[in-house]
Amino acid sequence: MRLKTVNYHSLERIAACMQHPCRAFLLRGNKYDFDIVFHGSHLAVFPDLQLCFNRIKKSGNTTVSAFLSDLSNRFTTESKHGFKKILVKPKSMSLAQLELLPSFYSLVVVRNPYSRALSAFLEKVAPGRSSKYHYCAGFGNSTSDGFYEFLTFLDNGGLWRDRHFWPQVNLLYQPIENFSRVARLEQLVDDMRIVLSDIGQDPMHAEVLARPHQVEAGKSKITSASTKLSEFYTAGSAALVRKLYAQDFQRFRYPTHLSNHFPSASGLDEKTA
């Protein structure tokens, strides 16, 4: 049975403006999505760096947020387990601070939709540990069949049930073309060198991004999805990902053939064409 589709995104945009009328009014004219701007986990502001980071779930947002926190001296050993709580968010900024937001450098890190969809499944659904995701088809079934069941569930209306599953284009706080830099997780070190140079920091600091940050090391959220594409993808599941995340492929210019970005998936192109 197909789930009734509810446009949660539009409803939450309206709610965000109602909850933060003064802030929304102050930022009017900037083509901002206020649901994303004032949501607690999608936009981190680093005033010392004059940088706004659009945090997209399952696209390296924790590692990059922690890295930027280190860079701005906001991250300490004592607070490493709760560093997200100390990130500066627009909804907690003063109106005077918020007025400066449009002048800040804006960064977003995006990810290949094939690996992002699989990563969300492997972390949230496949283990069958979190009751929060028991409603998802494929829960506790860490196989290619379980992954296909999960994607079918998303296609039948489940896509908007959790922001880890949303298309990346729907998690942007402003139009793509307005970002100072759209970085890719697959080339994070190289792209972040450019970002650091742009904001007057030493580009060599980006080298630490070649490995997970200490807040993620050893945690189950590191799924290594890009190395498991051949194991989980079939013609059917690849077709569903292309359908569900068509705008991500198009707007971020990711090729639809798996092997274009991931050599480990060579041979799947014939099955997914």
Per-residue pLDDT in tens (0 to 9) along the chain, 273 residues? 444 444 445 545 444 445 556 667 677 778 889 889 988 789 999 999 999 999 999 999 989 999 999 998 766 544 555 777 889 999 888 888 888 999 999 999 999 999 999 999 999 999 999 999 999 999 999 999 999 999 999 999 999 999 999 999 999 999 999 999 999 999 999 999 999 999 999 999 999 999 887 877 655 555 577 778 889 999 999 999 999 999 999 999 999 987 675 665 565 655 544
Counted domains in the chain: 1
Q: Which pTM value belongs to this model?
A: 0.85
Q: Is residue 255 part of a domain?
A: yes
Does a structural domain hold residue 1?
Answer: no
Please indicate, yes or no, if residue 2 is contained in any of the structural domains: no
At residue 38, the pLDDT reads: 86
- Rounded CA separation 33/35 (Å): 6
**Residue 113: inside a domain:** yes
> What is the domain extent for residue 62?
8-272
Residue with tokens 């779930």: 57
Q: Could you tell me whether strands 181-184 and 51-54 are parallel, antiparallel, or unpaired per DSSP bridges?
A: unpaired
Query: What is the model's pLDDT at position 3?
Result: 47
- Give the C-alpha separation, 142 to 90, whole Å: 38
Beta partners for residue 151, in sequence order:
none
> What is the predicted pLDDT for the residue at 75?
61
Helix (H, G, I), strand (E, B) or coil at 222: coil
Task: Write the CA distances from 48 to 29, 67, 82, 104, integer angstroms.
Answer: 25, 14, 20, 10
What six digits make up the tokens of 243? 């359908």
In this predicted structure, what is the pLDDT of residue 83? 74
- The answer as to whether 3 is a domain residue is no
Specify the pLDDT at position 162.
96
CA distance 2 to 158: 9
Give the amino acid at 184. Answer: R
H or E element that contains 51? strand 51-54
| Entry field: residues in the chain | 273
In a domain, 122, yes or no: yes
